[in-house]
Amino acid sequence: MGPRHGLRVDAVLVQAVIAGALSFAHLHDMASAAGQNGWKAWAYPVSVDLLMVAAWRRLRSEGPSRLAWCWFVVALFASLGANVATAGFLDLADPPALLRLGIAGWPALAFLGGTLLAHSSAAESGPVPPAPVADAEESVPLAEHPIPDAGRASVTGAVPESGPALASPDQVPAPAPATAPAVPAVLIDHARKVADEYRTRTGSPIDTDTLRSRLGVPPHLADAIAAHLT
């Protein structure tokens, strides 16, 4: 007989559904006890769960963030508080004024958290890492110039044949100046945004030292970026 093919039930998924349903019901009961009747009592657990999911999605997609962790803890505290409050620790027939205050202020708090999570970028939540510049760190070789033969000086006395050829100081070419490091366009665009934000906030153009510290780049690269911004 061949293997039996049937519906495989994931125990973790079943547990998550049960836990979510219980938490949803506890939030509804607490909101209803605080005077929120009808559809408003059902909207509170939806708001708490959506805020928690939004914060967790932000953490999974963009990495650790103080903003996302803050609102995840707020939503988790609201959910755990409802579970504890409906377990007999509070008299839901006569809820305390602090519970009514928290239920009444939750919509504004949830709206603020959802707005910040949706409209704040990762660059505002943490420091911006400098863009990789591969060619900028490479040393630029100087141009090689042959030293012209100055001949032998006609002086008194014999000059050894193996002695080095003397060259006039005017005939020795100066070393070629090092070229400026190449700066990626994406780094210049980001530096321009930083400079515009600094000018708007302080009213004066950004200096090279401040630009270097804000971007986290070496001094010679900061000079090259500042030359592009002028």
Query: What digits encode the pLDDT tens for the residues 170-204?
Result: 565 555 555 667 777 877 888 888 888 888 888 88
pLDDT for res 38: 87
Sketch the domain layout of the chain as residue ranges: 11-125, 127-141+178-230
Mean pLDDT of 149-176: 50
pLDDT in tens, 82-127: 888 887 777 777 878 888 888 888 888 889 888 888 887 654 445 4
**Is the Cβ–Cβ distance between 180 and 227 less than 8 Å?**
yes
CATH number for the region 127-141+178-230 comes to 1.10.10
**Residue 202 buriedness (CB in 10 A; 0-12 / 13-18 / 19+):** exposed
pLDDT at 54: 87
The 10s digit of each residue's pLDDT in 12-38 is 888 878 888 888 888 888 888 888 888
Q: How confident is the model at residue 32, as a pLDDT?
A: 84
More confidently predicted of 129 and 62: 62
Contact 45, 27 (CB under 8 A): yes
User: What is the rounded distance in angstroms from the CA atom of residue 43 to the CA atom of residue 35?
Assistant: 13
Percent of all residues in the chain with a pLDDT value above 90, rounded to a whole number: 0
For all residues of the chain together, what is the average pLDDT? 73
Tell me how far the alpha carbon of residue 43 is from its chain's centroid.
33
Confidence (pLDDT) at 131: 53
Paired tokens of 171:
């005939």
Q: What is the mean pLDDT of residues 67-80?
A: 88
